[in-house]
Amino acid sequence: MKALLVGDIGGTNARFALWRDNDLHAVQVLATADYSSPEQAIEAYLHEQGIARGGVSDVCLSVAGPVDGDDFRFTNNHWRLNRTAFCNTLQAQRLLLLNDFSAMALGMTRLKPGEFVEVCPGQADQARPALIIGPGTGLGVGTLLNLNKHWMALPGEGGHVDLPVGNAREAAIHQHIQGQIGHVSAETVLSGGGLVRLYQAICALDGAVAQHKTPAQITEAALGGEPRALAVIEQFSRFLGRVAGNNVLTLGARGGVYIVGGVIPRFVELFLRSGFATSFADKGCMSGYFPGVPVWLVTAEFSGLLGAGVALQQVLAH
């Protein structure tokens, strides 16, 4: 029997695994910079697993960006992909491409105890949509629907909505950033690079000289108790609350909110003590909509890969 392969491809790393018995096996992480194409990286992975060319029947790859047509260009690395050429090169029967946050959404269906932390208490309504939102290299937003034993993930570009403003301080931050770059999307602030931009804006408004240049430096300073870095983390968390709350109202997402991505897990305790929950529910006459909507911070390592496996499993079952 031929193997099934799943992959989760980001800007820096590509994660691959075999999908067997409805679970991941032989997970391996490869640097995208070391390979000229996804086919070359996959062949290297399969060689490590002792699988010859033609030994894989079906492949599902989670990729960043809109998936449409036969050609796909990765938005955050140098790779390109053509479905037909890909299948011919690897002698595979089928290639399923999945938006990365659709895969991430499907991965939420496979969370295990210890892979998430409660941020806001509540009871998920399984008949309603769930929101998946994640600050990382960018800001990903996805929607998960439970359709009677079948999961559907809706792709979108929700990270590029306008950054919401809730008070005078936030308006001043927005105005400062807008003066530098023009349109201010949610991703402009709610991402790794956005954390630096937010820090620079706050320093400028406070008349202070920026001391830190990377997200890691800002996070480290905040964890060490530096007041301005702490203020940046607090404001970042509040902006995330506003964006997440807007999405909950738009989607009717009483199925809960899953916060994913690589940024928040670097300062979990600060985030849990932040004003996220207050800003999340700060919706005027609709603030009463939010009590009971659960929010979780996800710390699972391979949710995108698992989601690719869930998607492939569902396709093969129909």
Residue numbering of the annotated binding site for ATP: 7-12
* Token representation of residue 186: 């949610």
Q: How far is residue 273's CA from residue 252's CA, in Å, rounded to a whole number?
A: 26
* 31 Cβ neighbours under 8 A, 6+ residues apart: 12, 13, 14
Do residues 71 and 290 make contact, with C-beta atoms less than 8 angstroms apart? no
Q: Give the Cα separation of 273 and 256 in Å (integer).
A: 20
Cα(1)–Cα(57) distance, rounded to whole angstroms?
Answer: 9
How many other C-beta atoms lie within 10 A of the C-beta of residue 296?
A: 21
Would you list the DSSP string of 248-292?
Answer: HHHHT-TT-EEE-SSSGGGGHHHHHTSSHHHHHT--GGGGGG-TB
DSSP bridge pairs for 132: 142, 258
Cα–Cα distance, 78 to 24 (Å, whole number): 27
Instruction: Give binding residues as ranges.
Output: 7-12
Q: What's CA 257's distance to the chain center, in Å? A: 12
Type of residue found at 21: D
Asked if residue 27 lies in contact with residue 306, where contact means CB atoms within 8 angstroms, the answer is: no
